[in-house]
Structure 1
């Protein structure tokens, strides 16, 4: 099975705490790039359709991705590789200030991978003009023969006018079979609404499964037949950079090969295992600096330990 991920790469510049004397750290990032990297770390065949400049940040990111086995297809070359200054609070939670342009060229997906089994889109690339139009067009072109996943990964400073941003996100939701969002995403998109109610409404737009992550409070999954919640594994947090992307990679790995109909018929037990395994991947990631998702051996060990603790070991 092959995955095609369409979206941005970003150089994450993690600021050192004030007065610490430590240097800033530069990590390869960008939500879609992190998902592709996480899939490759799990041994999956994955191509990332993206944009990178031939500059130090671009070369750093390219080496990081290809070192894990990600194939990179370029849909245009920007003047400089996008970047984000990442600030961390006392709990390791990240905030971002972006310098990014997204101008993906039409037709690029056809050249990137002629026959993917699954397409993943999300984040800045799915809603930022002019490249977002290409992302949606290419996804729509492929949708009849592949499954599609989407993670809005909301960045408010890049979303523009709120009502238009919500409409763009919901167009992506309607294209997708599987959607993952954080409770923070939903709070910005639909302030004051219950995340479960938003997830239920998104189900009516087309997806078979909607997943919502809630940080240390765990996650839940919603289908037309089941609503399942799971706790988060206990972990000492270094930072939260890439946690949601690691969760997404583990979800896609776990569900690899499921067609559109099968996704809608996942049992409550299968959904619980899915949440536990994806939560374990996120826990490994937050236990170390930067977007460093687990490989398969690390994920299997972390999931087995969490399943034993939660009483869901097989």
Structure 2
């Protein structure tokens, strides 16, 4: 039986949790909570928003680790009640620090009652991996029909996206269901090889979203809408690692923008805020997004000052 759900939440995030397990020969495994949708939910909660995450988690140590992490951040976790193993991504480092990856990720979300939400976000493998992706996409349709705004981030993982054409078709279906979509330049390069990034973003805009946001790593980000293009630079920061940066960016955009009617000024402000959130995240280890106070301080820094 599925877990009971509340009647309402500000944000409903749909997607996978993953235990990222760092494995070094001769040392104990080091598991860390992860998964792009889970990171987005956690980032929104850290910014003071009411968030429910619909996901799948096992009754195992990795599942408990992730549940505790999300609960500590203020995320309400809901599952479909199915018995599953918690997804894992094992990162094995050799003596020279070279990494090899092994994924054990399945997404079999079944039909489930969800709370009413002002906004619904779908991300990553949950949007493309059968059989659960069909359920997730139907939840988007239902939410949009009920008046919720919808956002999407494919967060492409080529090893897990399956056959390329089918993956592109699933992604484009989600784009067409969304008011706001976000992708990295690397996502678009995999989805549309050899096509300029802006051209791919324009292709998505033509499918129906009000805005398409593209992150460019250290080169900043841009957004396309019916009103044209907005670009922002990445704030200067000392990079520790880039884990979770795109998810922090997504959380900050959602927390600071009405996805249904984003004007140029609103888009520019949201992108600057999101770029500051990503800069805070890359300045420290792991998927550690800023709190509302940390983000406000980062946004208030004069141009050219390093985010810490």
Match of 1:298 in 2: 294
Offset at 1:14?
A: 3.1
Give the alignment partner of residue 276 of structure 2, picking from 264, 276, 280. Answer: 280
Q: 1:2 aligns to what SS in structure 2?
A: strand
Give the alignment partner of residue 62 of structure 1, picking from 61, 67, 79. Answer: 67
For residues 91 and 229 of structure 2, what CA distance do their matches in structure 1 show?
34
- In the TM superposition, 1:26-105 aligns within 5 A as 26-86=31-91, 97-105=102-110
CA contact (8 A) 1:32 1:121 kept: yes
- In the TM superposition, 1:171-186 aligns within 5 A as 171-186=173-188
CA contact (8 A) 1:220 1:230 kept: yes
For residues 125 and 154 of structure 1, what CA distance do their matches in structure 2 show?
11
TM-score by length of 1: 0.88
CA 1:290–1:96: 2 relative to 1, 3 Å? farther
For residues 141 and 239 of structure 2, what CA distance do their matches in structure 1 show?
38
Offset at 1:96?
A: 5.2
Offset at 1:95?
A: 8.2
Instruction: Encode CA deviations 1:225-258: one digit per residue, 9 max, x unaligned.
Output: 1201111111222211111000000000001xx2
CA 1:76–1:101: 2 relative to 1, 3 Å? farther
Match of 2:254 in 1: 252
Offset at 1:273?
A: 1.6
Q: 2:303 aligns to what SS in structure 1?
A: helix
- In the TM superposition, 1:206-221 aligns within 5 A as 206-221=208-223
CA contact (8 A) 2:19 2:33 kept: yes
For residues 97 and 238 of structure 1, what CA distance do their matches in structure 2 show?
24
Give the alignment partner of residue 309 of structure 1, picking from 299, 303, 308. Answer: 303
For residues 224 and 212 of structure 2, what CA distance do their matches in structure 1 show?
5
Offset at 1:22?
A: 7.0
TM-score by length of 2: 0.90
CA 1:226–1:86: 2 relative to 1, 3 Å? farther
Match of 2:121 in 1: 120
Root-mean-square deviation (Å): 2.2
Unaligned runs of 5+ in 2: 1-8
Instruction: Encode CA deviations 1:253-284: one digit per residue, 9 max, x unaligned.
Output: 001xx262x23xx12x3222211110111111
Match of 1:270 in 2: 266
Match of 2:132 in 1: 131
2:5 is equivalent to residue 11 of structure 1: no
For residues 204 and 117 of structure 1, what CA distance do their matches in structure 2 show?
24
CA contact (8 A) 1:27 1:291 kept: no
CA 1:250–1:86: 2 relative to 1, 3 Å? farther
Match of 1:149 in 2: 151
